[in-house]
Amino acid sequence: MHVKNETMTMSAILIQRWYRQYVARTEMRRRYTWHIFQSIEYSGEQAQIKLYNFLGYLMDNFTPASNERNLISHIFRENEVCRDAEWERYFCYKNIEVPEIYSGPHLTFPLTVEQAVGLVEAFRNKKQLHSRYVLQLLLETWKQLRMLPNINRISTCHSKEITICGDLHGQLDDLLLIFYKNDMPSLEKPYVFNGDFVDRGKDSIEILLILFSFLLVYPSEVHLNRGNHEDHIINLRYGFTKEVLTKYKMHGKRILKLLQKIFSWLPLATVIDQKVLVLHGGISDTTDLGVLARVDRHNVSRLQRRDTRAQPVCPLTRTSTRTSGPPTRCSCGGSRSRFSKPSAKGDRPSSTWETPRLKRRWLRPCPPSFKSVPTVFLVLLQILDLLWSDPMNQDGCVPNEVRGGGCYWGPDVTEDFLNRHNLQLLIRSHECKQEGYEFCHNRKVLTLFSASNYYDVGSNRGAYVKLGPDLVPYLFQYQASSMIRELTVRQSVGRTERSALKVLREQMFAHKTDLICAFKTFDSDNTGLVCLSDWASAVESVMHLDLPWRMLRYQLVPCKTNGGMIDYHEWFDELHIDQSLLETLYRHRSTFETIFRIVDADNSGFITIEDFRQTWMLLSVYLKMEITDDTISDLVVTIDRNQDGSIDIDEFMEAFRLTDKKSRLERGRSMFMGTATDLTKLEGDPNI
């Protein structure tokens, strides 16, 4: 009996030990998967700001008659198309007829509650609002927004709770689920939507139209804050521009122009009961609500264009009060997620065009009392901080080198800011969180993210928060996809992990040349082989993602090893992009597409061959690489297959979609749904 009990105890201990190891491995996979997604997302934002700096340099330093300046000058004239008195004539909708066969919703103004609710139901059923009504709704929204202050001040009462939503990013299913769980906006159900309504998701315009319609019906109960993605330059890269032009081919340009104007009029923040501040990104050690309340928010873009030359700034020692070491993001349970360190090339501006604007990124502004600093510059920095900043665990305030804009601010900055403005809580969004929300800085900062399944199905929950008169936050979590309810924890983590590894593999292939150079530093005999330790060191030296590369080796390098060595040439042979120019293009494909859409001034989706040449010349200056006319001519011949003298951006970008053998085989499985025997034959077929 004693032996039996001892055996049972040992079995229980073994099972417990196995389970703990399983949970630890699952958590580790979940964390590095998350880190892969966020690192790649933030590097894209950094590249976007860098591109904008470059375009600003062209505007400042090229002569007005230069081809390069003419190509991109129109994107900086958003407020110069016409004056306010002329906007209604410029965007007149009355000459647009609605055909009798149109089966979507019809709108009349002033808008009614029934029409706003009907619009929600129409979008739920995949219907599209006619462009006449879109323009009319946007014009009415613009008129309403112009009457609002920079900072909305609202209050709760005994019969009301205010619902606050974070980033939606074009994910209509999340907004519909919030309305289903919490009811639609009404006199008894006020809402604050905290920016980033658009980009990434496929239903951004529908979300905007729903929010704008409820704003018109309930102007005192619905409040919209501006996010960093409510910006026409950002929209060029992250999908909203393309979405509008695809859905509204005839009047898309006018819709985008009007939205550009509307975005500039969105309020910057909301204060609830004089105690809770709601804004999109965050604060810095110079944030002053008094200054932000007085600025002409719709002129920020214009001010930025006037202020593009070198500005007087203070050294980084201005914010050297934080503890040593890299900034770490706030995370649940007090754990810290280390940021990847910028590459040596990216640590400081190295080229002429980077210097004037990037000083804002690497150097913090002096205090407002520093008389040599222009007021306009300080105001601009405060707005950038408000839209782009993130909290960190350490005290102090440092430039946000990961995103490329805004800053990281610490608990001491939060404490000082709340005390100066007599506040008790700061609610912000801007960062995807796995649980949909996260408290930090002694629970005085709440991050709220409402786009569930943001990176992939099962990657994160969405959340919204309700505040009553006691101002105690009540949080509600959800996931919009029904698929996640059918998956076990292991299946959910595995699905998200595969998606992250696919993205990571593409990023690594896009840095093929740099990686091979790094491998060769460890391969002095040029054998094409490196050991696992050297492979991991080389990859980290190029990618700077701070990932457990040794553990990821089996997922990232499926080819066989030779005596424990990795054949890096065989690894890259899995990819069918071998030319250095095409590799460079793939690595910077988002930047190229952004430049393409900027050059496409009429938003037609096509540019002439001459403009295509100029686009390549811009790209060559931006990347600091030589691209000859002969090379561009060869590309033109390859891309312009129908010989019509114009280049289609979608076909061009699709030509550089990267695939490897493994992903092609996986698509083959889903397409053919063959038997195990059939698929085994496919795997062994060299032609597949």
Q: Which two tokens stand for residue 71?
A: 């190509």
Relative to beta strand 191-193, strand 222-224 is parallel
SS3 letters across 239-271: CHHHHHHHHCCCCHHHHHHHHHHHHHHCCCEEE
Q: Which two tokens stand for residue 249?
A: 């081919």
From the list 55, 48, 170, 222, the residue with the least C-alpha distance to 591 is 48
Q: What are the distances in angstroms from CA 567 to CA 165, 454, 521, 527?
A: 49, 35, 14, 9
From the list 295, 281, 291, the residue with the least C-alpha distance to 231 is 281
Q: What 3-state DSSP class applies to 449?
A: strand
> Which of these is catalytic: 229, 251, 280, 298?
229
Residue 629's identity, in one-letter code, is D
* Helix 609-623 / helix 629-639 crossing angle, nearest 10 deg: 130
Contact in structure between 203 and 124 (CB atoms under 8 Å)? no
- Could you please report the per-residue DSSP string of 131-195? HHHHHHHHHHHHHHHHTS-SEEEE--BTTB-EEEE-B-TT-HHHHHHHHHHH---BTTB-EEE-S
For residue 446, the cross-strand partners are 427, 439
From the list 543, 519, 545, 544, the residue with the least C-alpha distance to 533 is 519
430 is catalytic: no
Contact in structure between 133 and 105 (CB atoms under 8 Å)? yes
How far is residue 485's CA from residue 177's CA, in Å, rounded to a whole number?
15
617 φ, ψ (degrees, to nearest 5): -65, -40
Q: What are the distances in angstroms from CA 295 to CA 291, 298, 376, 527?
A: 6, 9, 9, 63
Exposed (0-12), middle (13-18) or buried (19+): which is 404, by Cβ within 10 Å? buried
How far is residue 86's CA from residue 443's CA, in Å, rounded to a whole number?
48
- Angle, CA of 325, 329 and 334, to the nearest 5°: 95
How far is residue 480's CA from residue 453's CA, in Å, rounded to a whole number?
8
Contact in structure between 215 and 226 (CB atoms under 8 Å)? no
Query: Do you find a cis peptide bond into 110, omega within 30 degrees of 0?
Result: yes
Contact in structure between 598 and 236 (CB atoms under 8 Å)? yes
Residue-level length of the chain? 688
Residues 6+ apart with CB under 8 A from 448: 164, 165, 166, 194, 427, 428, 429, 436, 437, 463, 464, 465
Spell 173-200 as b/e; 16+ CB within 10 A means b: bbbbbbbeebebbeeebbbbbbbbbbbb
Q: What are the distances in angstroms from CA 611 to CA 64, 79, 174, 296?
A: 17, 25, 40, 36
How far is residue 155's CA from residue 223's CA, in Å, rounded to a whole number?
12
Spell 217-229 as b/e; 16+ CB within 10 A means b: bbeebbbbbbbbb
Q: How far, rounded to the nearest angstrom, does the alpha carbon of residue 263 sit from its chain's CA centroid?
A: 17
How far is residue 649's CA from residue 246's CA, in Å, rounded to a whole number?
13
Residues marked active site are found at 229
